Amino acid sequence: MATTDKASTRDRLLDAAADLFYREGVSIGVETLCRSAGVSKRSMYQLFASKDEVLAASLDRLLPQYEARLTPDPEEEPAGTPRESILHVFERLEKAAAEPAYLGCPYLAALVELKDPAHPASAVARGAKERLQGFFRTRAAEGGARDPELLARQLMLVFDGASARAGAGIETLDGLTTATVTALLDASSTR
């Protein structure tokens, strides 16, 4: 029974952390986090050494869902051409950005807010960004891009810039990122 209680407490903390950090930023206090999760500070510190560890664990736990939301699942969707799978990511980004609760990419937000590459959550966020860039690089190479590394970096700039601008309410993405990415794919001869 105690194991179930701990798992439940851990899940509540991570759920609350993911929600609060996304909506309010990483500077929320431990008291606010614990109150939102319905757990005591003592319980939190029995599970995690610090709020930093909670943030890192919440971002890590969110990663499979985040990636599944963006990249095609080869078991559920046909992979399509490399070009189509890259465009798919940006179509999904545009769809997500149109949702009222969209506040941008949680991994980019963590990196920008923390400004500390040694922070455990920065490592998780950087890993998420590197995985997406790796997806772009792999698909670009498979599609015959002249310089897959450069194209992957350009696609990350479009992705992160679009995420930040849409998350801040400065821009609506309706076709903007897909048109931009199409131009980059054309210029790099990606099929």
2, pLDDT greater than 70: no
Please give the pLDDT value at position 78.
58
- Three-class HEC string of 109-169: HHHHHHCCCCCHHHHHHHHHHHHHHHHHHHHHHHCCCCCHHHHHHHHHHHHHHHHHHHHCC
* Signed CA dihedral, 175, 178, 184, 190: sign only: negative
CATH of the domain at 70: 1.10.357.10
- Residue ranges making up the domain that contains 116: 58-187
Question: Tokens representing 170?
Answer: 């400065």
The answer to whether 79 touches 85, Cβ cutoff 8 Å, is yes
Query: Is residue 3 in a domain?
Result: no
Query: Is residue 137 in a domain?
Result: yes
Query: Is residue 180 in a domain?
Result: yes
**Global pTM value:** 0.92
Give the total number of structural domains in the chain: 1
Write out pLDDT tens, residues 88-121.
Answer: 999 999 999 999 999 999 999 999 999 999 999 9
Mean of pLDDT values over 172-191: 97
Neighbours of 113 (CB within 10 A): 17
Query: Is residue 172 in a domain?
Result: yes
**Would you tell me the crossing angle of helices 120-142 and 106-114 to the nearest 10 degrees?**
130
Long-range contacts of 15-24 (CB under 8 A, 24+ apart): 15/58, 17/54, 17/55, 17/57, 17/58, 18/58, 18/59, 18/61, 18/62, 18/106, 21/55, 21/58, 21/59, 21/106, 21/110, 22/103, 22/106, 22/109, 23/103
Query: Is residue 167 in a domain?
Result: yes
Query: Is residue 32 in a domain?
Result: no
Query: Is residue 89 in a domain?
Result: yes
User: By percentage, how much of the chain surpasses pLDDT 70?
Assistant: 93
Question: Tokens representing 144?
Answer: 């015959």
Query: Is residue 17 in a domain?
Result: no
Banded pLDDT at 76 (limits 50, 70, 90): low
